[in-house]
Amino acid sequence: MTLNPWRLRLLSQLDALGTVRAVAQAANLSASSVSQQLAVLETETRTQLIERTGRRVRLTSAGLILARRARSILDHMDAVEAELRGLNDEPSGLIRLGAFQSSIHTLAVPAIQALRYPHLDVEIVEMEPHASMPALLAAEVDVIITTTDFVELPVPGDIDVVPLGQDPIVLVTPPNHPAADVAACKDEPWAFDIPGSYMAKLATRLCRQSGFEPRVVGRFSNYMLTLEHVEAGLAVAVLPALAVDRRFDVVTRELPVTRRITAAVRRDSRAAITVVLDALHTVAGVPASGRS
């Protein structure tokens, strides 16, 4: 029996993404092509890997085992390829770094600028926490900057998490605004992140804990637009401190909430990823430490 790496990757993505349609979009294939390739993999392994439940499919016990072993197999193959491409024992190859918006210019870009390896390329992909962990599991990215405070996303056992620091959550208001906390803004218009995002859920929770339902007048996936809205006096907002660009004329007040900033990688990642992790540690100002 010979296992085809490409088909193994499709099976691993099905485990991470949950549907054939999502795998097809990630792989730039049609859903029928993905289904055909998975059927071929079943023939190659002489094992039922997928079963139908109504109009959906799910992995069998054997399918789950192979999908999760496949990630280790594929990571090892990537590591071997990187070693073969390596020159003078320097890290080489392409590392894909998924990072949420406010960490790109504060952590990701400075870390990449600090790297001095001519054959190592780092590609940054903007990904919010609700999207970056599934992408890491599906091997669409190699390392992510995320927050483990996103409770809907438990950390799988084959993922290593490395702490980078704490980021205060702040109330952002226009200049000369008297509010000192969220409760004082119950009658104010609010600017929120897009629905379903980490910050949109956090802001909603903070408002409800203060006894009111926020009146949302703007939703922006870009923090610069949120800050412009607040600066213009059109709204108040709750943002991570990392997201507040000091070029905007706004007032911030720390709230009794912080988020933990972490990096995450698949276990047994190749050496070039460790170089990127070390650079992130240096920029974040924390000592390099073991994974957890």
- pLDDT higher than 90, residue 267: no
Q: For position 188, what pLDDT does the model report?
A: 96
CA-CA distance, 203 to 190, in Å (whole number)? 10
Q: Give the three-state DSSP class for 230.
A: helix
Which of the four pLDDT bands, split at 50, 70 and 90, describes residue 292?
very low
**E strand intervals along the chain:** 50-53, 56-59, 93-99, 120-126, 143-147, 159-173, 189-192, 215-219, 237-240, 251-266
pLDDT per position as a tens digit, 169-225: 999 999 989 898 999 999 999 999 999 888 899 999 999 999 999 999 999 988 999
- Which residues are paired to 144 by β-bridges? 98, 264
**pLDDT reported for residue 191:** 97
Burial class of residue 242 in the structure, from the number of CB atoms within 10 Å of its CB (0-12 exposed, 13-18 middle, 19+ buried): buried
pLDDT tens per residue, range 59-108: 999 999 898 888 878 877 776 766 666 545 677 788 999 999 889 988 99
| Domains of the chain, first to last | 5-81 (1.10.10.10), 93-164+260-284 (3.40.190.10), 167-258 (3.40.190.10)
| Cα distance between residue 27 and residue 8, in whole Å | 13
Q: What is the pLDDT of residue 84?
A: 64
What pLDDT, in 10s, does the model give residues 120-170? Answer: 889 999 998 888 888 888 888 999 999 877 656 667 777 888 899 999 999
